[in-house]
């Protein structure tokens, strides 16, 4: 259903309204799925296949139209260590494209071996997030670039220093002059990097193929895992084209995660560090689940080493549930179908 100006009604709902709606549908779906599965696994899967109507998850676009010259320039800058003060750290240091867009560390390392405050999220599909950083302090990818360049623990530099180094490179000077009327300015450097990052979409996961109509793209077990993912209410926060990345949520809705974990740091305060509002305490941007099988460790604190651990923690602290190991394993099996392709090659 669409309003007269063409914007889907679902897109106009608040994140809370969408979350409540999907959770309620999930509760009903869990009941129905249990009934279907009581007879046999095949009966449960048959229910799942029959229930695929309006889905909470949408497939990634197969391509995004971008200025390829800007993409190429942005790629060079993304891999250029001259953006850091000591010429040792580049964007790809924390966001390895061959490692699922992360560095697979609990905390990333910056200049001089400095340890960061949070786990580095994946750069793949980051252009589809509604905000950047765990606390959402950057509204756009362009704004996000400012963070690591100026952060003392990451690149420890500043734009005048970066530009003074890049201006010594004739190829860069020529490329910026050809693309931007005002040449090499910080805004244009950020624009080029952000354009490259927007190109980092990973379509054609098995689940995307399934959503596009290939009903054989998932096994019965994977499909059962998807049905449980919906039925337990995981889709209250993980939905849309990026399967997350479109809302903030408190870490510890059902139980106090931080009281149980202990040693609360400033980085654990989440969105509160940005707004200063009590309601934003421990609220974080919900991460995308795209390629999640490749991006361990999980959460802003890197506290979960495996998908199994991450699903158990989410069930306990977000849903107030203890999942049967069988259900958890089916959900994990579904999550592994979210690994897509980059430039036509499967991510690994």
Q: Give the pLDDT of residue 278.
A: 98
State the Cα–Cα distance between residues 248 and 244, nearest whole angstrom: 10
Q: Give the pLDDT of residue 17.
A: 46
Q: pLDDT tens digits, residue range 260-274?
A: 999 999 999 999 999
> Going by DSSP bridges, is the β-strand pair 345-346/341-342 parallel, antiparallel, or unpaired?
antiparallel
Instruction: Name the band, by pLDDT with cuts 50, 70 and 90, for residue 9.
Output: very low
Q: pLDDT tens digits, residue range 220-249?
A: 999 999 999 999 999 999 999 999 999 999
Asked whether residue 151 carries a pLDDT value surpassing 60, the answer given is: yes
**Which domains does the chain carry?**
9-54+203-247+286-346 (1.10.760.10), 68-198 (1.10.760.10)
Asked whether residue 76 carries a pLDDT value surpassing 70, the answer given is: yes
Which of 49-53, 222-226, 291-295 is least confident?
49-53
Which of 10-19, 53-62, 209-218 is least confident?
10-19
**154 a catalytic residue:** yes
State the Cα–Cα distance between residues 115 and 136, nearest whole angstrom: 21
Share of the chain above pLDDT 70, in %: 85
State the Cα–Cα distance between residues 75 and 93, nearest whole angstrom: 13
| Catalytic entry in 98, 154, 185, 308 | 154
Q: Could you tell me the CA-to-CA distances from 75 to 69, 105, 194, 203, 294 in Å, in that order?
A: 10, 23, 9, 19, 22
Indicate whether this model's pTM tops 0.85: yes
Residue 38 main-chain phi, psi, to 5 deg: -60, -35
Q: Give the pLDDT of residue 49.
A: 53
Q: pLDDT tens digits, residue range 162-184?
A: 999 999 999 999 999 999 999 99
Own/partner long-range contacts of 307-311 (Cβ < 8 Å, ≥24 apart): 307/332, 307/335, 307/336, 308/332, 311/335
| Dihedral sign computed on CA atoms, order 299, 301, 305, 311 | negative
Asked whether residue 333 carries a pLDDT value surpassing 70, the answer given is: yes
> What is the maximum alpha-carbon separation in the chain?
71
State the Cα–Cα distance between residues 63 and 201, nearest whole angstrom: 8
What are the residues whose beta carbons fall under 8 Å from the beta carbon of 37, sequence distance 6 or more?
Answer: 43, 44, 47, 224
Mean pLDDT, rounded, of the chain? 89
What are the residues whose beta carbons fall under 8 Å from the beta carbon of 280, sequence distance 6 or more?
Answer: 248, 270, 271, 272, 274
Token pair listed for 281: 């305490």
Higher pLDDT, 76 or 38: 76
Q: Give the pLDDT of residue 302.
A: 98
Asked whether residue 6 carries a pLDDT value surpassing 60, the answer given is: no
State the Cα–Cα distance between residues 314 and 333, nearest whole angstrom: 16
Q: What number of residues does the chain have?
A: 348
Q: Give the pLDDT of residue 53.
A: 59
């Amino acid at each position: 259903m669409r309003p007269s100006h063409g914007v889907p009604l679902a897109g106009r709902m608040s994140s809370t309204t969408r979350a409540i709606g999907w959770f309620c549908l999930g509760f009903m779906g869990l009941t129905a799925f249990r009934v279907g599965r009581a007879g046999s696994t095949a009966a449960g899967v048959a229910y799942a296949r029959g229930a695929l109507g309006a889905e909470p998850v949408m497939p990634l676009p197969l391509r995004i139209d971008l200025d390829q010259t800007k993409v190429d320039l942005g790629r060079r800058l993304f891999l250029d260590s001259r953006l850091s003060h000591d010429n040792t750290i580049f964007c790809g240091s924390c966001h390895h494209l061959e490692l699922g867009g992360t560095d697979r560390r609990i905390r990333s390392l910056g200049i001089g071996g400095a340890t960061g405050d949070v786990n580095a999220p994946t750069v793949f599909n980051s252009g589809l997030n509604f905000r950047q950083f765990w606390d959402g302090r950057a509204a756009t990818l362009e704004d996000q670039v400012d963070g690591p360049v100026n952060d003392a623990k990451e690149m420890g530099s500043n734009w005048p220093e970066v530009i003074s180094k890049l201006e010594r490179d004739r190829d860069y000077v020529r490329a910026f002059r050809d693309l931007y009327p005002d040449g090499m300015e910080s805004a244009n450097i950020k624009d080029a990097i952000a354009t490259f990052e927007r190109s980092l979409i990973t379509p054609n996961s098995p689940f995307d193929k399934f959503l596009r109509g290939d009903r054989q793209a998932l096994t019965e077990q994977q499909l059962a895992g998807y049905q449980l993912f919906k039925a337990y209410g995981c889709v209250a926060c993980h939905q849309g084209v990026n399967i997350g990345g479109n809302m903030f949520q408190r870490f510890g809705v059902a139980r106090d995660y931080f009281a149980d974990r202990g040693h609360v740091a400033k980085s654990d305060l989440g969105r509160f560090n940005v707004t200063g509002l009590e309601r934003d305490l421990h609220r974080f941007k919900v991460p995308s689940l795209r390629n999640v099988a490749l991006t361990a460790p999980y959460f802003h604190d890197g506290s979960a080493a495996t998908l199994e651990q991450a699903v158990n923690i989410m069930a306990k602290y977000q849903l107030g549930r203890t999942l049967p190991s069988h259900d958890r394993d089916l959900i994990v099996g579904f999550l592994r179908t979210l690994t897509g392709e980059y430039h036509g090659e499967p991510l690994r």
